[in-house]
Each structure stands twice: as C-alpha cells, then as structure tokens.
Structure 1
Amino acid sequence: MSTRRLRVMMSTPAIRDTTNPYIVQLVDAVGHEVDVRLFSWRTAIFGRYDVLHVHWPEIFTSASSTPKRWARRVLTLVLQGRLAMTKTALVRTAHNERPHESTSRVDGAILRRWNRLTTLWIILNERTRTETAAERILIPHGHYRDHFAQFPRQDPTDDLVSVVGHIRPYKGMEELVTAVAGDSAEGAFRLHVAGKPADAALGEVLIGNASGSDRITLELDFVDDRRIVEIISSSSLVALPYRQLHNSGVALLALSLDRPVLVPDNAVTRDLQQEVGASWVHLLDADAELTQAVRDALRHRIPDGSPDLSAREWPVTARQHATAYARAAEIRGSR
C-alpha cells in the first residue's frame, strides 16, 4: 500500500520572473519529495493541506494601499484562526532573527501571532535564535549553481566591484556609494549597483550620493537572472556592506558564480569563511575604512577554481525539508 505524500502549501504565490531564486529552487526541489501547492487565499483558508511553509510572514499584510492592507490583515487573521483550530502544521524558515524594517502596532501583533502558531522552525545556520522555543531543524541555504548555469558568464574586470539585489536601508548602500564617490586614493575601483530600491526616496539618495562620480554605475530597477549573471561575473568582487547580515542569498549567489565576497565580520560570516575558504570570503571589520577594505579584498584577486558548496546541494536540502514537514505534521497531530 502506498503512503500518501504530505500536502505542503508554500507562502509563495505563482512563480514569476521576479520570484526570489531561492524560492524557485526550493519549490522545484521539494516537489520531488512532497505534494507542493503554491499559495492562494482561497486554498489557504478553505483548502486541504497538511503543512503551511512560511518564509517572510510580513508579506501577508504588505499592500500598495491602506484599504488593501486592511483587507490582507483580515484575511491573515482568518488564516491564522484556521491554523489555530485545525491540525495543519506551520513551518517557518528563519531567514533573519527579526524583521529588517519596523512595523505598525497592528502588523506587529499579527507577526507575534505567527510566532505563537509556529510548529517547527527551519534555521539556515546554527547561530540563528528563533522567536519561540518550538522545535528547530538546521537546513543550510542551498547554492545557486544549477539555477544560473543556463546563462552566459562574462570575463571579470580587475577593478570592478558589484552589488546586486533589492536595495533596502539596512544594506548600507548609501554609505558605500558615498565612500566610492569621494575616494581619490591610488587604486580607486569602479562600482556597479544594480537592484530596485525599497522606495523612491532611497533611490534619490543613491543618485545624489553618486553625483559627479564617473566610477559609479547605478542600475536602479529590477534585475533579471540573466542580467544578474552578467553583472556578477564581470566583477572581481561582490560587496555586501550590510548594517545587519545574518543570512545572505546574495553572498551565496556570488560564490555560486565563482566570485569572492566582502561581508561584515560576524559569527555567521566567519562560519561561511571557514566553510569555503578565506580567499573567497573577505571580512569587513566594523571600524574599517570602507573603500580601503574593498581595495584590500580586490588585491587578493579571484581564486582559481570554485568555492566548496557541497554542503548546500539541493537534493539533500529537499530531503531535509521533507523530513521537517513530516516532523511538523507529527507534532501538530499529537496535540
């Protein structure tokens, strides 16, 4: 007799060109292990599934207008009520230890309820502290090699540094652009910033900070996968001068494309450096002068070969997720 596969609903709706590549890979890989369903409000509230897997719960109440935001809040409360009254398990991936942006009092209360409803946490590194004492399973963030293998790479330019991805205030792009614009030291480098700012005001700040510098290229819009590969592969270093960095898909993306990264020095990034090697992961001290730290990293040049990402293979990651879903369903069913 065959065993019914677990039905797992992802918090992600239909896969689009703008969908986070991590989610695209996860949905594809996990689909070989469980019955994956993409998110819709109708199915989430009225449909049949065993596990809801949520990544960034703040997106449930995010909307472009106040009426839409209130509608999504109501729907979220109804969904939370369903989870509380049924044996549907809630699995949460802790991408960060706390939200990067502040929330309203209402949305903060909704987020706290998500925490209380969580059956099981998936943590991406062993340093993660979760919001509740629910059971935890460590599943390292998968690499991006397979996802981006279809796109042609460029030859690297020795003095080119890039930053890619959604531009948000905590990432420190304003300070990096200002530092490069004012850098006249010997060995000055070029900077390419590509990604859509969180809001128009942040974009205007970056444009103003870069004004007058011919060494800074700003590409302030959504960057598709092909363009991401072009930008990163043409660079000799990917810089991530984040004010807060706990898990970084961009760092793993750069390493997957065989480009070294400069990241803030903390326990998580030191673990990553130990995993793949100091020639691939350069650490940025909080007191270091930013442009000098970039120049120091560039002097090491791109190492030969590729960083070792064997601990982040997707077939293994998929099986680990299936185990986590089964464990969450077991915990929820026993209550």
Structure 2
Amino acid sequence: MPPALTPEDHSAVLRVHIGHRPPRPNVSYVDQLVGEDQEGIAFSYFTGLLRNYDVDVVHVHHPCALLGGKTDGDPLPKNDLVLSALALRVVHNLRKNRTALVQTVHGKDHCGTGRWRRILERATDAYITLDAEMKTPAPDRTVHIPHAHYRERFLGYPVAEQIPGRVLCISPHRLAAVCAAPLRVFELTSTAGLSLRVAGGPDPAVSSLIDRADAGTQEKISSRLELLSDAAMVEEISEAELVLLPAIETLADESMLFMALSLERPVLVQDSPAVQSLRREVGPGWIHTHAGPLTAERIDSVMDALQSSPAEQPPQFIGRDMDVVAQQYAALYRAASRRRR
C-alpha cells in the first residue's frame, strides 16, 4: 500500500486529471475515485488526446484514452509507428511536468497491443486492480483497491417489494450479452411461478429476442427497454428474486454486481477466479455461478436453492465502504505524485 499520509501532504491542493466522464447521478467507477469529501484534491476530466499536463496525476482505466482512443470499442485505428510517436510525446510531457501516471487494470481490454503500449507501461507510476486476481505489467508497482459497495449510496431510494419467482436480466450497456441465453432457454425451465424480466438500454436485437421468446412462454416475460436511472435500477433489482448478470468484463458490469449485492439480491453470473473470491467474501447464498453457457437446469437449481435455503445473513463486504476506498485512491495519488516530484 502507499505510504501513510503526513501533515504536509494536506498543505497544498493535489490536481488529478481523470480519463473518465465527471460524476453524474448514475453510479460509475469515477465516484469511487472522487469520493464524497476529499479535501485538498482538485479533480478534472478529459476525453480525446491528453493535452493537459499541468496537473500532479493523470489517471486512466484504459491506456488508449491517453492517445484519444475509445475504451469500449475497436482498437486505435492508427498504425503502431504513429501510436508510438504519440505515446513518446505523452511520456515526454508527463516527465517534463513531473506528472505521475496511474492506470486501473480491469476486465476486457479493447485498446490493442504494440510498442506504444510498452512505452506507456514503462512510464506508469502505479497500477490499480479492483480484484486480487487481476494481473498487471508491473506487480511491484501495483496496488489492489477493492470495488466499493453501494449500501449508503442508495439509502432513501424507494425500494420495491420483491416479486416471488422473478428472474431479472439487467445491464445499462450490455443487455444483449446477459439476456440472450435466458430468453432462449426460459421456456424450458420447470420452476413453478417463474417469470423473466428484461431491463436495460434499448436494443433492436434484444427486442426481437423478447418477441420470439414471449411467443412460447404464455406472458411470463416482461421488459423495460430504456436507459435506466439509478432509481429505476434500484426498483428493478429490488423486485427480483434472482439477478442474472453477464460475465464481469467491464467496470459497468462490476457496478451492476455490487448494486445487486448491496440491495441484498442474489446473483447468477459466469464463473471466474475473481467471482469466486468475492463469493467467499460475501458469504453463502449470494453469488451463484455457471461455468459454461447458461441452461434452464441451472436457473431451476439456483431458484430451488434460494427458495429452500435462503441466505442467513446479508452479504459481507470487507474494506469496501465508499469513504474507505476513496481514501485509498487519495493516498495512492499523493504517493505517486511525491515519487514523481
């Protein structure tokens, strides 16, 4: 972990430039970086090619953001020679301004590879992982900061009454990835009173899947295809008896996982070492997994387990309070800035 803060660390404003959109009403990874009350730190945000180096720390969660690339789509379209030149310019400007570079490593990486990537890796002062299973290019410069839970975030939000037998597919960005398999196999389930709810961003592919599945399930499928606010997601999750999630590949996927657990709703998610680690942390009855393609039999077996042996206590979160997590980011920023200067 970064060194403990000293009194002089609080004497000046630390300027942190984040390659992420500013905080908004919907939960996002950036909320954990900014926190509710971080005195002495000024945050700013950038998209496109990094141009502002007059800061103490630059923090990105995909390295291609530094070169103006998209973090959730195709790799950077330029050739490696051009990208390497851009990366060398970024590194030169970072060093010239004694600005530290911090990267979060998480899930699926859409940035691609090449010499440009190695240039940025060598220049990175600290890596952050959200789960202990994630590997980075430099273990000696890596700090594990867990994803925060959202219990306090949703205090005061209206919570709906749980609907027995409701299975929910929900995702703000990857709805097709989570609902395609359940929609195909739902009519094969045998659990009495089971219903399937699909909620998330509108997608023509999802609409056609729902139409085809609904024809054979006697109105046991309902949907809410729109961009969901946090309040709408809280409503949908709290109505569910089981929440189906896609493989945890993006920060948005992980946010949905912690939203469901924070609202004390069990989840069914594709297995992975990180998911198994969290499963041990939160305790029995909350995280259920499937190793291969989702099947009707697996949905039935999980529903049987939930209805016959519900969890005996709420999910247990270790070191995941939002304020604690934000303080760890603040400490890392200060330590990285001190080393660079």
Taking the aligned partners of 1:186 and 1:210, their CA distance within structure 2 comes to 17
Query: 2:171 maps to what in 1?
Result: 165
Matched letter for residue 263 of structure 1: V
Aligned residue among 190, 195, 198 for 2:200 = 195
CA deviation vs aligned residue, 1:208-267 (integer Å, no higher than 9, x gap):
553424222232321101100100001111112428589722111111001111122222
SS at match of 2:104: strand
Query: 1:50 maps to what in 2?
Result: 56
Unaligned runs of 5+ in 2: 1-7
Aligned residue among 36, 45, 62 for 1:38 = 45
**TM-score, normalised via structure 1 length:** 0.79
Aligned residue among 199, 203, 206 for 2:209 = 206
Offset, 1:11: 1.8
Matched letter for residue 144 of structure 1: Y
SS at match of 1:15: coil
Question: Are residue 23 (structure 1) and residue 30 (structure 2) matched?
Answer: yes
Query: 1:242 maps to what in 2?
Result: 247
Query: 2:233 maps to what in 1?
Result: 228
Taking the aligned partners of 1:185 and 1:220, their CA distance within structure 2 comes to 26
Offset, 1:35: 2.7
**TM-score, normalised via structure 2 length:** 0.78
CA deviation vs aligned residue, 1:123-177 (integer Å, no higher than 9, x gap):
1111001144560011110001121213110111110011222343894431222
Query: 2:101 maps to what in 1?
Result: 90
Question: Are residue 263 (structure 1) and residue 269 (structure 2) matched?
Answer: yes
Taking the aligned partners of 2:131 and 2:261, their CA distance within structure 1 comes to 17
Taking the aligned partners of 1:206 and 1:121, their CA distance within structure 2 comes to 40
Offset, 1:313: 0.9
Matched letter for residue 198 of structure 2: V
Aligned residue among 22, 25, 29 for 1:14 = 22
CA deviation vs aligned residue, 1:33-59 (integer Å, no higher than 9, x gap):
6332333679x5245211011124456
Instruction: Name the CA shift for 1:108/1:20 in 2 (closer, same or farther; >3 Å).
Output: farther
Taking the aligned partners of 1:188 and 1:244, their CA distance within structure 2 comes to 32
Aligned residue among 295, 299, 306 for 2:300 = 295
Unaligned runs of 5+ in 1: none
Query: 1:123 maps to what in 2?
Result: 129
Instruction: Name the CA shift for 1:306/1:38 in 2 (closer, same or farther; >3 Å).
Output: same
Instruction: Name the CA shift for 1:41/1:161 in 2 (closer, same or farther; >3 Å).
Output: same
Query: 1:151 maps to what in 2?
Result: 157
CA contact (8 A) 2:33 2:329 kept: no
Query: 2:223 maps to what in 1?
Result: 218
Question: Are residue 185 (structure 1) and residue 158 (structure 2) matched?
Answer: no
CA contact (8 A) 1:236 1:259 kept: yes
CA contact (8 A) 1:179 1:291 kept: yes
Question: Are residue 325 (structure 1) and residue 325 (structure 2) matched?
Answer: no
Matched letter for residue 188 of structure 2: D
SS at match of 1:319: helix
Instruction: Name the CA shift for 1:291/1:222 in 2 (closer, same or farther; >3 Å).
Output: same
Taking the aligned partners of 1:138 and 1:184, their CA distance within structure 2 comes to 40
Taking the aligned partners of 1:228 and 1:211, their CA distance within structure 2 comes to 23
